[in-house]
Amino acid sequence: NAGVTQTPKFRVLKTGQSMTLLCAQDMNHEYMYWYRQDPGMGLRLIHYSVGEGTTAKGEVPDGYNVSRLKKQNFLLGLESAAPSQTSVYFCASSYEHLSSTNTEAFFGQGTRLTVV
């Protein structure tokens, strides 16, 4: 089982460049999430999706865009990268709504992004 796969694993960008992070899950999960993890800040939710064709803003959405054209994929885009977006990005998915009492989130291995 592949679970949740993120590509790429590492990337260095110059300020102002754009890129797309891809998240793919093979568990037929409805819900998908993008988080960023910074030292001392825990994980912060950027955007999430409750199903194919839907997206919603999380805690820190500015500077990012997302798309969920296919159920299994959730793309995170940076249109004009800034040094403040240097972080480790994690994608997660879940079968049910995370407020359900019997669900858990499955995480990818992360993408380490550095913006110089």
Partner 1 sequence: SQQGEEDPQALSIQEGENATMNCSYKTSINNLQWYRQNSGRGLVHLILIRSNEREKHSGRLRVTLDTSKKSSSLLITASRAADTASYFCATDPTAGGTSYGKLTFGQGTILTVHP
Please report, as a single letter, which amino acid is at residue 77: G
Choice between 77 and 110, CB closer to partner 1: 110
Q: How many whole angstroms separate alpha carbon 42 and alpha carbon 64?
A: 19
Least separation, in Å, of the C-beta of 90 and partner 1?
Answer: 6
Contact footprint for partner 1 (CB under 8 A):
4, 31, 33, 35, 40-45, 48, 50, 56, 58-59, 90, 92, 97-110
Helix (H, G, I), strand (E, B) or coil at 84: helix
Choice between 38 and 79, CB closer to partner 1: 38
Choice between 1 and 101, CB closer to partner 1: 101
Name the pairing type of β-strands 4-7 and 73-78.
unpaired
Residue showing tokens 């839907």 = 54
